[in-house]
């Protein structure tokens, strides 16, 4: 995320919005999570000897045992961590990790970071539209990309009427037909007709 922030032109309005989100919403949760990361690494709760990552994660995971906010841009540096989680005594590593994951202070930091990221994403489309219309000059490769996006959107708008919503009888359930025993009819229309006798 910091890399994308640093790539934005200085005079780009979105960079100011992005900077405000980092300062007001992302900076403190990241500082607290970095403190937790360092504390848990020192307590030998993180094992970097195994290269395995979570294959079921909803996003690509990149592991970095040497993560530090100091390597990020200056906008991330001002926050001072204010989190302190007391770990249970005489617990196994697994029990301690489960305790941390379920701790409200830890979850609040993760939630705050994700909420900040979502606010950046929510504004991205509006500001992208503004860039298409108002930005005075684009580099040639960026101008080609913007032309492609405009053509793609035009194609989407033109093809949308060709693919109407699925027929009503495919989406209706038994409550809509008033028949007992009729199931929701997804799949082929023939299956729906055979089920209800329509």
Residue 108 has pLDDT above 90, yes or no: yes
Asked whether 86 and 19 are in contact (CB, 8 A), the reply is no
Cα angle value 137/139/142 (rounded, 5°): 105
Report whether 15 contacts 6 (CB < 8 A).
Answer: no
Which of residues 158 and 182 earns the better pLDDT score? Answer: 158
At 26, list the tokens. Answer: 């992302």
pLDDT at 88 over 60: yes
Q: What is the pTM of this model?
A: 0.63
> What is the chain's mean pLDDT, rounded?
77
DSSP string, 26-44: IHHHHHHHHHHHHHHHHTT
pLDDT (tens digit per residue) in 124-135: 777 777 766 666
For the chain, what percent of residues have pLDDT higher than 70?
77
**Annotated domain spans of the chain:** 2-141
């Amino acid at each position: 995320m910091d890399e994308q922030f640093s790539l934005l032109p200085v005079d780009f309005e979105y960079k100011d919005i992005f900077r405000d989100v980092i300062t007001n919403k992302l900076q403190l949760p990241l500082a607290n999570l970095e403190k937790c990361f360092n504390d848990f690494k020192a307590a030998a709760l993180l094992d970097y000897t195994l290269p395995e990552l979570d294959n079921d994660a909803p996003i690509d995971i990149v592991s970095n045992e040497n993560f530090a906010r100091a390597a990020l841009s200056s906008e991330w540096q001002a926050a001072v961590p204010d989190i302190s989680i007391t770990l249970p005594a005489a617990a196994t590593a697994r029990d301690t990790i489960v305790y941390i994951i379920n701790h409200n202070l830890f979850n609040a930091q993760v939630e705050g970071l994700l909420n900040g990221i979502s606010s950046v994403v929510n504004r991205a489309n509006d500001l992208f539209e503004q860039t298409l219309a108002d930005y005075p000059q684009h580099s040639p490769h960026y101008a080609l990309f913007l032309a492609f996006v405009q053509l793609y959107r035009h194609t989407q708008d033109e093809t949308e009427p060709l693919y109407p919503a699925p027929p009503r009888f495919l989406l209706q359930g038994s409550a809509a037909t008033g028949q007992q025993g009729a199931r929701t009819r997804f799949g082929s229309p023939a299956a729906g007709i055979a089920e209800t006798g329509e």
